[in-house]
Structure 1
């Protein structure tokens, strides 16, 4: 994967994290009472600050490790305009920004005298020196970041150790789910199967597969468990747009298509949809011991007096793709 692909993947994950946090913050604020409102607001603010700082560090690390600057690619005319408009030398990108500041439709009121050969040479030398200093600064930042990273504790091992302690506290045992983008849905499917809940979604999923497009009559039972859960989440979101559209950065049809038919990660918003469509409470255990409790809602139609609960384990550092969910079964 090249640098551009890495950046796009990181930006996609950041957008997903921001949407999930916004949904989570909204749910917390809706459930707050007058007595707890201040504490909930403080907690939500802290979560937002933490996410922003972490995403900023990740972007900085990516840019610092992959930025390469070639002074030989400086254009003569760009260097000339840079000297005319940016003599401070503070930014290595001033050459490009100076060119962008010139408007074809609005030419300068005074013509720019063509540079002499000596002027071009001096400007190029100055630009190259500035770019070289900037490249050296970036290299120094990259080395410093690598040294700091090497001295940091092993976050993966720490998170796993804390999770094992919480498993004992709640009498749970972990079923590891493959980290392939479907982990949230596969973990929910495993929980339902192991708990013997036999739950059905409130909305019959719309099954859209290649076989059906060819004329067969696929049913929900023909799909893998994680795929059936994906369809259930997509249909609930699609048919309750007022609850979800405010948190989307794209049109609703595109979003639900990605839930149904791709390996797009699931998050808090999809868990909320699944809790409501299956009429089940979802407990999400974090490494710091926090348990997010996602309620099915009063009109979930779960049926019966016994509360139906499934458990998922959420990992931030334990898996290569980033965020990950495992299924947590009741220990014997």
Structure 2
């Protein structure tokens, strides 16, 4: 007589079958992953072999074969690059020389050079020559300092600036009307005028006719400004003794001195 399986037995059997099927699927997945890993390893191995072959080929080309032809080719390539660098440098130097020549020609024919020639001609007629002053913002004061040194005075650049600023402050009505805002055209305010005087005293602000006017009053000496394109200007004419002060090449100021040859003749 056949035994009839109970419900519990049927359920247990079903669980065993499901577990078996699940294990089979897991094993199948593992096998698939293993195959994929093997394929990846094979591909990597092939790539590695290919890279090695390429590397070997490059090494062979670098080392060259027994007759040295590849070495010659590499040497020619290096020589060609070196020659190109030399050619480029030579071309640059040639272009630079050409530019320098153009600038020199322009300087000889330019307005600034022509102005300098005219100024020198004027000075020669008066037996004078330029004594160069550096263009550092202090040139006007340095030129006056140079002239004072020739006269035996000992006022420094700093003292000249300070006394110029102080005179302008104490005589504001003589200077303020000539100072205007470059943007609005309005006359300077009191604060702006004070800042202007501070700049005169403490910075390398360029000086002009206003400062020369103040200096002539401080020093009680007339200052003559010799210009290339215009008649000379004498500032502080009420004073007797002259202090020469040459102006040329735009806003730059130089000092003047007797011509060297003439001075030597007088000493002889």
Deviations 1:120-152 (A, max 9, x none): xxxxxxxxxxxxxxxxxxxxxxxxxxxxxx8x9
Aligned partner (choices 179, 188, 198) of residue 248 of structure 1 = 179
Q: 1:324 is paired with a residue of what secondary structure?
A: coil
- 2:204 is matched with 263
| 2:229 pairs with 1:288 | yes
- 1:316 is matched with 249
Q: Which has the higher helix share?
A: 2
CA RMSD between the two structures: 2.3
| 2:257 pairs with 1:329 | yes
Q: Which has the larger radius of gyration?
A: 2
- 1:231 is matched with 162
Q: Which runs of 5+ in 1 are unaligned?
A: 1-149, 200-220, 318-322
Distance change in 2, residues 1:247/1:289 (3 Å): closer
CA distance in 1, matches of 2:234, 2:112: 24
- 2:125 is matched with 169
Deviations 1:107-131 (A, max 9, x none): xxxxxxxxxxxxxxxxxxxxxxxxx
Give matches, 1:51-130, under 5 Å: none
1:282–1:294 CA contact under 8 A, matched in 2: yes
CA distance in 2, matches of 1:166, 1:272: 23
CA distance in 1, matches of 2:241, 2:258: 13
1:185–1:226 CA contact under 8 A, matched in 2: yes
CA distance in 2, matches of 1:330, 1:291: 17
CA distance in 2, matches of 1:161, 1:265: 24
Q: Which runs of 5+ in 2 are unaligned?
A: 1-105, 181-187, 264-268
1:289 is displaced (CA, Å) by 5.4
Deviations 1:201-235 (A, max 9, x none): xxxxxxxxxxxxxxxxxxxx7xxx22211111111
CA distance in 1, matches of 2:178, 2:252: 21
- 1:158 is matched with 114
CA distance in 2, matches of 1:330, 1:270: 25
1:272–1:296 CA contact under 8 A, matched in 2: no
1:184–1:326 CA contact under 8 A, matched in 2: yes
1:166–1:289 CA contact under 8 A, matched in 2: no
Distance change in 2, residues 1:315/1:269 (3 Å): same
Give matches, 1:34-45, under 5 Å: none
CA distance in 1, matches of 2:194, 2:147: 28
TM-score by length of structure 1 reads 0.41
1:282–1:312 CA contact under 8 A, matched in 2: yes
Aligned partner (choices 181, 184, 187) of residue 137 of structure 2 = 181
CA distance in 2, matches of 1:233, 1:187: 14
